[in-house]
Structures are given as structure tokens and as C-alpha cells.
Amino acid sequence: MKVILYEEERLDDLQRNNYKIIQNPKKFCFGMDAVLLSGFVVVKEGELTLDLGTGTGIIPILLEAKTPGKHFSALEIQEESADMARRSVQLNDLQDKIDIVTGDIKEASKIFGSAVFDVVTTNPPYMNDQHGLKNPDLPKAIARHEILCSLEDVIREGAKVLRPGGRFYMVHRPFRLAEIIRVLSQYKLEPKRMKLVYPFVDKEPNMVLLEAVKGGKAMIKVEKPLIIYKEPGVYMDEIYDIYGY
């Protein structure tokens, strides 16, 4: 299906099922964190999934390509990003599998209802007011800083829309791990899997991938670390597998 591309927008090949995604590099493009999260998430046959803060729709599109899930919903507060996501869904002829909804994460349970989804995914803003300088460009600042929603907003609403036993998946920064686990537990989301991501084998981790289960018992599996680069500019084999190269 043909779709309109606006000024400064581009088409990027996702290397999966011939899918492509519309992005505007002047606004905000998806990063490796979203791709790694899509490789960490488990979606089973017949399950319903919601992505909170979907941006241009990268996570639901990749999950539709990689998993046997039944349907993928996505919520995004910035209409410009949501519009790009909808046009990408149309471009890939996925209108029957993916819905993009414009709305506020803080209102997710009102928009979708309680205990609706089997899986919730999120790649939320990593920084709060105490962390780093805000980008002067508002769309980028909203994506990176907790301007329109907090970590607790994301986790609270994720817990509400999940069915009992449903799974919550998040990519975030390790320096907030203690806070993340505390808030997950506060909303009865029990951490079950964790994977730390390292840029190089001799560097500190710069991402953490987490799975939590609504109402789950207390036991967490720390998986083997994920290393991004063998050497500058050369990915480890596992990264090529996740990207689908």
C-alpha cells in the first residue's frame, strides 16, 4: 500500500517480513533499545499486547513480525508520532493486526479498560528532572525525559491493563534499577527475568531488560549478559540475530 511521506520523513527497512517504518530524523527515531526489547519479549499464540509510549510504532511492528500474537495495540501521546505509526501500519498492510491510539499513558486503563492484555511492553523516558539536560526540541525531550509521564505512571497503568498472570516488559537504564524493582513490586508486578546489556565486554552495562508477572511469586532469573560490540562498529552475532540481518 502506498502512503504519503511528509517533508523530512524517510522510510527505513526493518529487515523483517519486508516491513518498513516511517521516521523523521529531525524529531525522534527509534534506537537499539527498542529492537533489543522486541527480542526479549515473549508473546504467545493468541495473546493481546499493548505497547505504552510507542513513538513511531517500532515495537508493535517488530513484535507482529517476530511472534504469533493475536493483536497488538499501541498508545502514543504525540499525535505527530502516532500519525507516522499509523501510516507505517498501513504501509505494511497490518491494519487488522495493529491499532495505534493517540492518548496519555496516565489514562491507559481508562482508554483500554482493566485486565485486558496478556502482555504490556514499554520503552519509557529514562530520565527524570534530576537526570541530565533536557533536549530543547520538545518531541525528543518528551521521548527521553519524564515530562508527560513518570516511571510510576507507566508501571501503574501497565499493571492495571494486564490480566492476572500477564507479563510486563521494559527496557530502561541500570542506574534506576532499584527504583524500578521497588515500583514494580508496589503494583504487584513481580520481576521474573532480567538481562543486562553491555556496549563492550569490559564496559559497564548501559541498558537493562526486565520481565515482570502480575501477581507472580518472588523469584527472578538473571540471564546471561548481552554484549553489543565485538569491536567498534562490529556487532556480536547475537545482535545481528536480533536485528534479523
Domain spans, the chain: 10-243
Name, in order, each residue with C-beta under 8 angstroms of 231's C-beta and a sequence gap of 6 or more: none
Strand 189-198 to strand 226-227: parallel, antiparallel, or no bridges (unpaired)? parallel
Compute the distance between CA of residue 189 and CA of residue 182 in angstroms, rounded to an integer.
Answer: 10
Q: What are residue 154's phi and psi, to 5 degrees? A: -65, -45
What is the model's pLDDT at position 243? 87
Superfamily of domain 10-243: Vaccinia Virus protein VP39 (3.40.50.150)
Q: Which amino acid is at 207?
A: M
Strand 98-102 to strand 20-23: parallel, antiparallel, or no bridges (unpaired)? unpaired
| 180 neighbors 158 (Cβ within 8 angstroms) | no
Compute the distance between CA of residue 71 and CA of residue 69 in angstroms, rounded to an integer.
Answer: 6
Compute the distance between CA of residue 237 and CA of residue 204 in angstroms, rounded to an integer.
Answer: 20
Cell of 127: 530520565
What is the model's pLDDT at position 145? 42
Q: For residue 164, how many C-alpha atoms fall within 13 Å in the half-sphere facing its CB?
A: 2
> What is the mean pLDDT for each group of 10 consecutive residues in the chain (245 residues)?
86 93 90 95 98 96 97 96 96 97 96 98 75 47 57 96 98 95 97 97 96 96 96 92 81
What is the model's pLDDT at position 3? 83
What is the model's pLDDT at position 131? 44
Cell of 4: 504519503
| 24 neighbors 30 (Cβ within 8 angstroms) | no
